[in-house]
Chains A and B, each alone.
Chain A
């Protein structure tokens, strides 16, 4: 692996509440290489979005980084002052959110959004910024970009709006893009196009993408590596092919079994029984133990960290070599 673009080390994110602190992301560590697409998958509430917000410095109160650090291009960014982090956002680290319908301000033209973002980060005047904006619109596959430049968000379809959002995210050629469920709100037919576009943009601009989703199918098609999150921790992380074909963590195994197989629609999917625990009721030991089909004595007392499991890393005592 080349020099890492992003290093997340022992990151924990918590919320202050009346009942004390709730830890929503618990001691996670991972790295991303330049240009790599890392899928982050997990049930709703697993802590995916919080992880993404921490990377862009946009954690919302009452959430806060409790411990750990985030290194971007070998520089610590989790404790930067607001103004310095703001300069990084959009310039070095871009973000795309779930709902393209609401990501754009209805009162401004698409062109205004682009020009304002470009001029915030790049030394361009109005005219140059406009040229750049139209080039970007062309690049993300929007027909008649000159005309579209003048139009308002409501004149665009959902898929077209998400293309605009992608254009906005890549304005200044960021090295890392956090894409939080970028296709969840779109029609199935449009989803594939947007994913393909993201992948192309990643290649052409050399941008690494953290692709957050709860859809394993999206990961399979798009990502290089995948990190499976469960109850605020990484259950398993590794190359997409091996995680899909040969999952090492019992939770991942359950997830894979739950992917519908074409031709077997009628059969009941092999679901994992039970639900992810709430933040204030995470069991001691392995947090997956109430649902794990392979649970054994140790799982109730000790919490497993990531350990080597074939081509991946998995947080499961089954892979403890010292056992």
Chain B
């Protein structure tokens, strides 16, 4: 098991290294940093001096080493556009994106799992068929269209919820601004979070449903019935727990996707998060911001993957003893 942990950490470091190379290459090959920093009038000589001062003439590996050293400290340089450290700007935007993603994931889980269980147990009921059909429509619509529809119905027509923005936020300490503590902040979260998590919600519902159907056919469920257990114990104690492993995997993978896809939702809802910042950075070729964003998102990916692995060990006792047997058929 120790070897397993080491291997996973090694893999994570490798992934981070690859992303670092990509981010670093952007600095070198996309646009000219000096060009981005100086005005039109600067002479070739001054530019060359600046180039030397920035270390841009050093060999590749020296520059890369410096890049990594700074990146570990969270230093990605100064934003070309804003003239402030990129990491500082990202940090300001991080809470908005994380809170939105968190609510989206909670929505996907808290609605997707019960609906999956229901449609798995009552597979022939009319409500199940309704859920499955509507979820199919939800899956096949692009995110921005869902977002626009939501805004149109719930903000423009019904006036229930705000069409854009984060509402009022409260500063928690120096680094975190939260929308969880005000009514307008919570209201503002609803539409973008549903838009962002809708696809994952239907994905989890379908996954739980198909896993439930499979698990309910197993011998241990038959035997649980023969032992006279209550239906609630059979469905939630025995069946649901066995569907959790794939749900954990998919949820883990999808958290990354949600954070990445926040780019679209944030743009539609004018949500002041990292995704919106990233789109602006692309338009401005603001490499430090892009690099910092890429590194941060991949770090989140890697950390979530490690957590998923840990949860596996927690849920499935067969892994703890190192005696991994194929799932019972």
Contact = CB atoms under 8 A, between A and B. Distances in A.
A and B are interacting partners: yes
Interface of A: 56, 58, 86-91, 94-95, 97, 99, 101-109, 116-117, 120-121, 152, 154-155, 165, 168-169, 171
B18 interface: no
B317 interface: yes
Nearest to B218: A102
B328 interface: yes
Contact of B223 (A95, A108, A121, A171): A95
A152 B228 contact: no
Contacts of A152: 317-318, 321
B218 A91 contact: no
Interface in B210-227: 218-220, 222-227
Nearest to A99: B219
7 cross-chain pairs, A with B, having the tightest CB-CB distances, nearest first:
A90-B228, A89-B228, A95-B226, A102-B219, A103-B223, A90-B227, A105-B220
Contacts of B218: 102
A103 B233 contact: no
A107 B317 contact: yes
14 contacts: A58-B226, A86-B225, A86-B228, A88-B228, A89-B226, A101-B328, A102-B220, A102-B329, A103-B223, A105-B238, A116-B233, A120-B233, A154-B325, A165-B223
A121 B323 CA distance: 33
B242 A121 contact: no
A89 B226 CA distance: 6
A250 B318 CA distance: 51
Nearest to A98: B219
B323 A154 contact: yes
A117 B220 contact: no
Contacts of B316: 106-107
Contact of B230 (A88, A101, A120, A155): A120
B223 A154 contact: no
Contacts of A108: 238
Contacts of A94: 226-227
B241 interface: yes
Contacts of B231: 86
B237 interface: yes
Contacts of B225: 58, 86, 89
B318 A103 contact: no
B282 interface: no
Nearest to A92: B228
A120 B223 contact: no
